[in-house]
Amino acid sequence: MQGKSQRLVELDFFRGLVLLVILVDHIGGSMVSRVTLHSFALNDAAEVFVFLGGFATATAYVSMSGRRSESAARARFFRRAFEIYRAFLVTAVLMLLTSFLLRPFFGSAPNLATSDLNAFISAPFTALADVLLLRRQPYLSSVLPMYALFALAVPFVLPLARTKPILLLGASIALWAAATPIAEYLPSADDLLWDFNPAAWQLMFVIGVIACCHPIYQRVSSHRLGWLVSVAALAIVAGMAYYKLLVLPVSFDGDFKRNLAGARIVNFLGVAWLAGDLARHGVVKQIAQRLPWVGAVGRDGLVCFVAGAVISLCVDSALFTLTGGLIDVPLGLAADALALGLLLAIPHRQRVFDAMRSRSVVAVAKREG
């Protein structure tokens, strides 16, 4: 089906683009990050990342339950939760190892996981247990525990999304509204709060799931007055940009993002609607076809996220030390080019590795045959 294929192409492109944006957004001296979403909106790439995760999850679940069975789809996402948890452990170890290797050279860099590293050095078994129990989440590994919880919830969320979306959305909003005190009870070492409160961010995931299961955008946009919604979305995005650029005196505190403030949701919905308009008119598909390497990053999302975490930490630390934390346009652009080039190369290396492994399996099979 052409429509389905198009949506999948666009989904891969958006996921890859978001991973590239997340990469540069975590490099303090990046020049590209000066024009990414967080620069003119109250939300950032995190909302897009979680929404697309819900959309992609629903796509995979519906496809597998149709091709095989509902029980096979449920089992697949229970396994997926373990895969994400394993990726969290790998990322946490890499954050600690990278910080350990970089600290002698770039010790003043702000994003090195020095506190977690010090805890590990002073009490390695306790720190390791903290990581295993999600009590300690070094730097960029912190988004993955939330995703593992979402994957565990998929077998319960998807049937509701398909049959009772209003009930699911209402329950999700109620949980989001009560999320702030829930954050206090999440497992943590040294009384640190999670960077992403899963009780709040599940709303963005659920919105993505419902958007996939029910063509709300398609029905509204095809209505003769659908253009009014696009005008309203444009007004929201423009108004939020005005506030962010000209009114907002200081940055918001951590709770504004940790607990997914309502203003972030509204701003994201405006951006998402306009992105949907671009996709409906074929603009995104054309861009995706001309930039296939961006979609390749999206298809290898988990691997690229882990690799991007290491790349951004290394590049950010080196750039901060070279510039003393000041803006340097040539070095910032060079850092962007290096980081983006390295991440874009990951899917190619992954395909080469998979091809070599497949040939090895075939060779072994032939010898045994």
Could you give the count of Cα atoms lying within 13 Å of 243 in the half-sphere of its Cβ? Answer: 14
- pLDDT (average), residues 117-143: 95
- pLDDT (average), residues 220-233: 93
Output the CA–CA distances (angstroms, integers) from residue 346 to 16, 298, 301, 308, 318, in the order listed.
Answer: 12, 11, 10, 9, 21
260-310: pLDDT as tens digits:
999 999 999 999 999 999 999 999 999 999 999 999 999 999 999 999 999
Q: Does residue 3 carry a pLDDT above 80?
A: no
Asked if residues 43 and 37 have their Cβ atoms less than 8 Å apart, the reply is: yes
Q: Which pLDDT score, from 0 to 100, does residue 251 have? A: 73
More confident residue, 4 or 121: 121
Q: Which of 41, 25, 339, 44 is nearest to 196 (CA)?
A: 44
Q: Which pLDDT score, from 0 to 100, does residue 188 have? A: 92
180-204: pLDDT as tens digits:
999 999 999 888 889 999 999 999 9
CA 14 to CA 20: how far, in whole Å?
10
23-57: pLDDT as tens digits:
999 999 999 999 999 999 999 999 999 999 999 99
CA 273 to CA 232: how far, in whole Å?
10
Q: Does residue 356 carry a pLDDT above 90?
A: no
Q: Which pLDDT score, from 0 to 100, does residue 354 have? A: 54
DSSP run (H or E) holding 140: none
CA 212 to CA 216: how far, in whole Å?
9
Q: Which pLDDT score, from 0 to 100, does residue 247 have? A: 87
CA 4 to CA 10: how far, in whole Å?
10
Q: Which pLDDT score, from 0 to 100, does residue 192 have? A: 83
| Residue 197 three-state SS | coil
Runs of H (alpha helix) within the chain? 2-25, 45-67, 70-106, 114-122, 124-132, 143-163, 165-177, 179-183, 198-213, 216-222, 226-242, 254-258, 262-280, 283-290, 292-299, 301-323, 329-368
Q: Could you give the dihedral angle defined by the CA atoms of residues 144, 298, 260 and 199, in that order, rounded to the nearest 10 degrees?
A: -40
CA angle 9/14/19 to nearest 5° reads 130
Q: Which of 342, 291, 264, 348 is nearest to 14 (CA)?
A: 291
DSSP 8-class letter at 194: P
Task: For residue 4, name the pLDDT band (cuts at 50, 70, 90).
Answer: very low
Task: For residue 351, name the pLDDT band (cuts at 50, 70, 90).
Answer: low
Q: Which pLDDT score, from 0 to 100, does residue 97 have? A: 97
DSSP run (H or E) holding 352: helix 329-368
| Residue 93 three-state SS | helix
Length of the chain in terms of residues written: 369
- pLDDT (average), residues 122-151: 95
Task: Quote the mean pLDDT of the chain.
Answer: 91
Output the CA–CA distances (angstroms, integers) from residue 203 to 26, 227, 260, in the order listed.
Answer: 24, 26, 9
Q: Which pLDDT score, from 0 to 100, does residue 362 have? A: 45
Q: Which pLDDT score, from 0 to 100, does residue 368 have? A: 56
Chain centroid to CA 217: 22
With a CB cutoff of 8 Å and minimum separation 6, the contacts of 255 are 180, 261
Tokens matching residue 112 = 């090195």
Q: Could you give the dihedral angle defined by the CA atoms of residues 91, 97, 99 and 103, in that order, rounded to the nearest 10 degrees?
A: -170
Q: Tell me which of 88-92, 184-188, 271-275, 335-339 is least confident.
A: 184-188
Provide the percentage of residues in the chain whose pLDDT is more than 70: 92
With a CB cutoff of 8 Å and minimum separation 6, the contacts of 254 are 193, 195
Helices 262-280 and 283-290 cross at an angle (nearest 10°) of 80
Print burial letters for 159-195: b (CB count within 10 Å at least 16), e (below 16): bbbbeebeebbeebeebbeebeeebeebebbeeeebb
With a CB cutoff of 8 Å and minimum separation 6, the contacts of 108 are 320, 321
Task: For residue 361, name the pLDDT band (cuts at 50, 70, 90).
Answer: very low
